[in-house]
Amino acid sequence: MSEATLAFSAPMAKPATATAAVTELGISARIERLPFSRWHFRVLSAVGLCHFFDAFDALTIAFVVPALVSQWHIGAPEIGLLISAGYVGQLIGAIGLGAVAEKAGRVPIIRCALVFIGLLSLACAFAGNLQVLIALRLVQGIGLGAEVPVGASYINEVCPARIRGRTVFFLQAIFALSTSVTAIVAAAIVPAFGWQSMFVVGALPLLVALVFARIVPESPRWLANRGRLAEADAIVTDMETSASQGGTVPLGEPVEQSLPIRHSAKFSDLFSPEFRSRTFGVWVIGFCLSFTGYGLLVWMPTLYRTVYHLPVETALRYGIVQNVASVIGAIAGLLIIDYLGRRLTFLVGFLGAAAPLFYLWTVGISVDVSVVLTCAATAMLFISMLLAGIFVYLPEIYPTRMRALGAGIGSAWLRIASICGPLIVAALLTQASISAVFLAFASASVVGAIAVLTTVVETRGKRLEEIAQ
């Protein structure tokens, strides 16, 4: 993939006539005037690879469960508990390691998360019973929960405002692409080599962890915020060298903005008057999109197997269709988020998902399974605009001093929904019907749309420092 195809380049401004001071605002000003360069492509590729394996390991359980249903003779309550356990760990990781990332830095926490993901995936391959697998998935979730919000915070901090939305959305599109790859790999190897093979493949993040810190430097915005200005200056100088192609291409003059910067952050800051509405808004949005989006991703292969009585191989192939739709939705969001803006993109995603899910509620079990596949895939296409887009918006709305903390806790609400969702779906399947499951998914999408209308602030094209005020 060339830099041109990413469409992230910007016209070069006149040569710089002055150098911004080596201060926190000066570092930000120098980053803001840079075009997308090989430097950005390198770090985006590395963090994108982390996202890829995070998604692979997170969604592995969706394609393992159909095989376990027959092998371990587990029912809906056990399936719900197994799925939820991984998200309990993700909740811990998103909150705990997200907070640690404010003190230890972005890169060490991402690397730590990769080790958690790889080691525990390998351990899962040797789980001999349901209880052990539940425990291992819970611990693995700590790494899975930390990597996405911290990685998204990092990419937000190294990109200028004019390309930030597309760049972070591209990062999350890689996450969506991985869900399709996961489905394809599962359909190929689970019937042939057993469910354990998926967890063996999921150990590959250990290799990425070995080289990650050599490829990706620390966030210069974070370094500057922590007073480590010399290190930040060296990294931004490297970015400028790459963008100017060794000094042969002129760069625009950095323009500092006189915005107040505070250097301490605590949990209560998330509820200060300037951030309270944003915080509660992204929590509701995150919960609703996760309940619907991850509910569809994780449950549909099992529903095809248990409710619609398809063979394991067919259920896994149907899962591929749905995950391909997820990639299409992520790409669509990538193309429109910096043009329609965050608010309208999110509304399209929620309402577009709600419509086919409400239809499935009205027809219930009587409809042909091909119609179920079509409606579920359509809903997945639209909701994937948000599954990717939330990690564009979430780190944008907080200042550097609390960005990883805010993004981590905000993403924790995706994990909370992912914990509650499987248990709710299991209860609805046991006590009600499949129609009730689709109604729950559709209703969550409508609530999410209401939260978008009432709380989302438009961040398109604004500097991070400007949004934070």
What's the pLDDT at 10?
Answer: 37
465: confidence class by pLDDT, cuts 50, 70, 90: low
Angle between helices 369-396 and 434-455 (to 10 degrees): 30
CATH architecture observed for domain 20-252+265-467? Up-down Bundle (1.20)
What's the pLDDT at 389?
Answer: 78
Residue 272 has pLDDT above 90, yes or no: no
Per-residue pLDDT of 200-237, as tens digits, reads 999 999 999 999 989 999 999 999 988 899 999 999 99
Residue 171 has pLDDT above 90, yes or no: no
Environment class of 135 (CB within 10 Å of its CB; exposed 0-12, middle 13-18, buried 19+):
middle
Looking up tokens 């620390």 gives: 218
Per-residue pLDDT of 397-433, as tens digits, reads 887 777 777 877 887 788 788 888 888 888 898 888 8
258: confidence class by pLDDT, cuts 50, 70, 90: low
Sign of the CA dihedral running 208, 189, 183, 143? negative
Domains of the chain: which residue ranges? 20-252+265-467
Per-residue pLDDT of 52-102, as tens digits, reads 999 899 889 888 888 888 889 888 888 888 988 888 888 888 888 877 888
CA–CA separation, 120 vs 114, rounded Å?
A: 10
CA–CA separation, 80 vs 73, rounded Å?
A: 14
DSSP secondary structure string for all residues of 125-189: TT--SHHHHHHHHHHHHHHHHHHHHHHHHHHHHHS-HHHHHHHHHHHHHHHHHHHHHHHHHHHHH
The SS3 assignment for 209 reads helix
For residue 192, how many other CB atoms are within 10 A of its CB?
8
- In eight-state DSSP terms, residue 15 is P
221 backbone dihedrals φ, ψ, rounded to 5°: -65, -40
Q: Lowest-confidence range among 33-47, 250-264, 328-342?
A: 250-264
Q: Lowest-confidence range among 159-168, 258-267, 378-387?
A: 258-267
Answer for the pair 376, 327: CB distance below 8 angstroms, yes or no. Answer: no
